Amino acid sequence: MSEVRSAFNVSCKNCGLQKICFPTGLQKDEIERLDNIVDRRAPLKKGQHLFEANDNFNALYAIRAGVVKLYSFTNTGEEIVHGFYLPGDVLGIDALGSRRHQYNAIALDTTSVCSLPFEKFSNLTDELPQLNKQMMNVISKEVLDGRMHSELLVRRNADQRVAQFIWNMSERYRSRGYASSEFRLSILHRDVAVYLGLTPETVSRILAKFHADGVATWKKKEVVIHDMDKLLNTAGIQTSCDSCNKATA
């Protein structure tokens, strides 16, 4: 526990997430300036909200540890899950335009965040071109993430959706330097189902099949990928297709 506690208070320059988060490409003294405006609060407990829809927009949040679910509701009261945010990811982009949060952000596990008061951060981006560029990258990532989500929901069957979700999580852990074929995932199957536009029952059946087929196992928050090729195949992702996105007509 003390080990975890200490991890909560690391400064940007000593943070292992530099490559993912805002400091990317910044000089040492620039990181220091960023560091100075970062507000490190006490970690959120599981079930606590980082912000809620309609809250005033005060800050961007960089996740240091844990998982956050971004969600809202339809007019009929059904939950919509927009995404899951891992260490190094940035939350709050949804409020940039209106200065009010559009969605709810809830911790799915004990979660620690770095808060970046937007006024100060905005002033800093004016002075540091590299930080401004990185801000663009972060926003751009948010846009592409949304598109990827849509892509997942269009004309992909349930098997492909679940397989792609597992693969995507694996990739995100890999890019952060963690094991990619075996990792802990504090996300309920129920939440994944909603995210993928499926029912919990369907997800359960598919995970059972994946387990039986030796593709991957997801039990009790522990994910193990047994056969990456099979997983990619099930997801409908061929690795050798460079010109797929090229316009043809």
Partner DNA sequence: CGCGACTTTGAAGGCACTCAAACACTGTGG
Partner DNA sequence: CCACAGTGTTTGAGTGCCTTCAAAGTCGCG
Residue 216: φ, ψ to 5°? -160, 160
Residue 171 binds to DNA (criterion: CB under 7 A): no
> With CB cut-offs between 5 and 8 Å by kind, which of its own copies, DNA, none does residue 153 bind?
its own copies
Nearest partner of 17 among 104, 96, 112, 125, judged by Cα: 112
Q: DSSP assignment, residue 69?
A: E
Q: Considering only residues 117 through 156, tell me which ones interact with its own copies, judged by CB under 8 A.
A: 126, 136-137, 139-144, 146-147, 149-151, 153-156
Tell me whether residue 45 is exposed, middle or buried, using C-beta atoms within 10 angstroms of its C-beta: 0 to 12, 13 to 18, 19 or more.
Answer: exposed
The token pair that represents 59 in the structure block: 């800050």
Provide, rounded to whole angstroms, the least separation between the CB of residue 243 and DNA.
21
Q: Considering only residues 75 through 114, tell me which ones interact with its own copies, judged by CB under 8 A.
A: 75-78, 80, 82, 93-94, 96-98, 102-104, 106
By beta-carbon proximity to its own copies, the closer residue of 65 and 232 is: 232
> With CB cut-offs between 5 and 8 Å by kind, which of its own copies, DNA, none does residue 244 bind?
its own copies
Please tell me the distance from the alpha carbon of residue 27 to that of residue 35, in angstroms, as a whole number. 12
Stretch that binds DNA, among 23-31, 66-74, 121-129, 153-161 (CB under 7 A): 153-161
Number of alpha carbons in the 13 Å side-chain half-sphere of residue 136: 7
Residue 95 binds to DNA (criterion: CB under 7 A): no
Nearest partner of 111 among 54, 52, 62, 45, judged by Cα: 45
Longest Cα–Cα distance of the chain, Å, equals 60
> With CB cut-offs between 5 and 8 Å by kind, which of DNA, its own copies, none does residue 56 bind?
none
Provide, rounded to whole angstroms, the least separation between the CB of residue 158 and DNA.
4
> With CB cut-offs between 5 and 8 Å by kind, which of its own copies, DNA, none does residue 54 bind?
its own copies
Q: Which amino acid is at 183?
A: F
By beta-carbon proximity to DNA, the closer residue of 34 and 187 is: 187
By beta-carbon proximity to its own copies, the closer residue of 65 and 237 is: 237
Q: Considering only residues 34 through 93, tell me which ones interact with DNA, judged by CB under 7 A.
A: none
Kind and range of the H or E element at 137? helix 129-153
Q: DSSP assignment, residue 111?
A: B
Provide, rounded to whole angstroms, the least separation between the CB of residue 111 and its own copies.
16
Please tell me the distance from the alpha carbon of residue 42 to that of residue 214, in angstroms, as a whole number. 41
Q: Residue 86 in contact with residue 12, Cβ under 8 Å?
A: no
CA 187 to mean position of chain CA atoms? 12
For binding to DNA (CB under 7 A), which residues are involved? 157-159, 188-190, 197-205, 207-208, 219-221
**Site for its own copies, rule CB under 8 A:** 49, 52-54, 72-78, 80, 82, 93-94, 96-98, 102-104, 106, 126, 136-137, 139-144, 146-147, 149-151, 153-156, 194, 197, 236-238, 241, 244-247
